[in-house]
Amino acid sequence: MEKPTLLMTGPYPEWELPLLETQYHVLKLWEQTDKPVFIAKHANEIRAMATRGDLGASNDLINALPKLEIISFFGVGLDAIDLNYAKSKNIRVTITPDVLTSDVADIAMGLCLAVARNIPQGDTHVRSAAWGSAMLPLATRMTGKRMGIIGLGNIGMAVAKRATAFDMPISYHNRKKRDDVPYAYCETIEALAAQSDFLVAVIPGGPATQGMISSAAFIALGKNGYFINVARGSVVDEDALLYALENGVIKGAGLDVFLNEPKPDARFTKLSNVVLQPHVGSATYETRRGMGQLVRDNLAAHFAGRPLISAVV
Ligand code: 8YV
């Protein structure tokens, strides 16, 4: 039987391509100089798309592919696709949940510790041979401080589990109060911020959460509070965050995501009270292997006529 044609919007870890190529005729969109011409040429053969959270699938791209049946995301973020549009075109959409939960929660905790305990500064201190001649400023304890989680989904729960081991009392904000957790619920982000020392964002991006964490939240978090973002840059009013960091409205931030990736606002790099990461929440061998496997398993299920494993549409 002829292999179905799969359009990849961007590269996956290098081991994935040969695995995909055993099952599909793979087209590499990112290598094309004239993408619209390339799409037009292959429009009638492309039955599947493998994309990433950051690249998504625009309505224009979906519209240009009349034979498209399934879009498989390497990631869980769905802010770069219009799900209703995909649904209206009868296109299935899958994501890679669960396999990345622990790693994203781990990086959230790592950022909390890194910014509060000045880990990057300590590293620089040793490397620069300043140890012995200059003193590092004292850091802030994390154990026992109040943890506030914006978005108590799977990743939020994994953050709560880790924070519990740090003896942190936990509060959260969600669209709806959860009846199955022992944590304190706050109806607004500002109320949550007011009772947090570490405020961690793990909500999905997209229009519904755009700029949701605003200056009012930073004022409520206060001058001893830390803001951590492992969700999407879009969930924060980034100017308000920069203002808060530059003017001591909050103490510091640990950021894995930004509004403009991969070229975040340069003002972040001038600040000494932030720890910055290049969107690596899920970037471990273990998780990326799990994500690749789940993309392939969903595609295989689709073409075998079996139920999809992790479909959102
Ligand atoms: C990935 C992510 O970095 O799952 C998501 O939404 O942001 C991350 O896991 C991304 O999808 C890989 O490109």
Instruction: Tell me the CATH number at 243.
Output: 3.40.50.720
In angstroms, the CA 71 to CA 94 distance is 6
Give the pLDDT score at 303: 98
Say whether pLDDT at 280 is over 90. Answer: yes
Question: What number does the ligand 1 atom closest to the CA of 280 have?
Answer: 3
Question: How many CA within 13 A on the CB side of residue 260?
Answer: 8
Could you tell me the distance, in angstroms and rounded to a whole number, from the CA of residue 92 to the centre of ligand 1?
A: 19
Same domain as 238, residue 110 = yes
Phi, psi of 289 (to 5 degrees): -65, -45
Number of domains composing the chain? 2
Residues spanned by the domain of 186 = 101-276
In angstroms, the CA 111 to CA 281 distance is 10
Phi, psi of 190 (to 5 degrees): -65, -40
Tokens matching residue 171 = 């509060």
Same domain as 244, residue 136 = yes
Does residue 290 line the site of ligand 1, with CB under 6 A? Answer: no
Domain membership flag for residue 9: yes
Question: Token pair 């003896």 is at which residue?
Answer: 167
pTM of model > 0.85: yes
Say whether pLDDT at 1 is over 90. Answer: no
Question: Would you call 238 a catalytic residue per the annotation?
Answer: no
Same domain as 210, residue 105 = yes
Domain membership flag for residue 295: yes
Domain membership flag for residue 311: no
Nearest to 221 by CA among 187, 201, 194, 198: 194
In angstroms, the CA 240 to CA 217 distance is 10
Mean pLDDT of the chain: 98
C-beta of residue 188 within 8 angstroms of C-beta of residue 214: no
Same domain as 136, residue 266 = yes
Say whether pLDDT at 154 is over 90. Answer: yes
3-state secondary structure (DSSP) of residue 116: helix
Specify whether the backbone of 167 is left (phi greater than 0), alpha (psi in -120 to 50) or beta: left
Same domain as 22, residue 79 = yes
Same domain as 143, residue 67 = no
CA 120 to each of CA 95, 113, 139, 151, 259: distance values in angstroms, whole numbers, following the listed order? 34, 10, 12, 28, 23
Question: What number does the ligand 1 atom closest to the CA of 232 have?
Answer: 7
Does residue 74 line the site of ligand 1, with CB under 6 A? Answer: yes
pLDDT tens per residue across span 17-63: 999 999 999 999 999 999 999 999 999 999 999 999 999 999 999 99
Same domain as 211, residue 187 = yes
Same domain as 54, residue 184 = no
Same domain as 140, residue 92 = no
